[in-house]
Amino acid sequence: MIRIGEILDGETSVGRKFQQLAEFLGATRIARARVSHVEGLSRPSDLGLPALPSSVTLVDERSGQIIRLEIQNEILLALVDGAIAAAVPDIVSLLNSEHGTVVNIDDVRVGDVIDVLKIKAAAQWYSEAGLDLAEPKAFGIPIEHPRRQHA
Residues of the chain with pLDDT under 50: 151
**Model pLDDT for residues 78-99, shown as the tens digit of each residue:** 999 999 999 999 999 999 999 8
Cβ atoms 70, 77 nearer than 8 A = yes
Q: What is the pLDDT of residue 149?
A: 59
Q: What is the pTM of this model?
A: 0.87
Torsion (CA) 137, 50, 48, 110 in degrees, nearest 10: 140
Domains of the chain by range and CATH?
A: 2-43+51-149 (2.40.390.10)
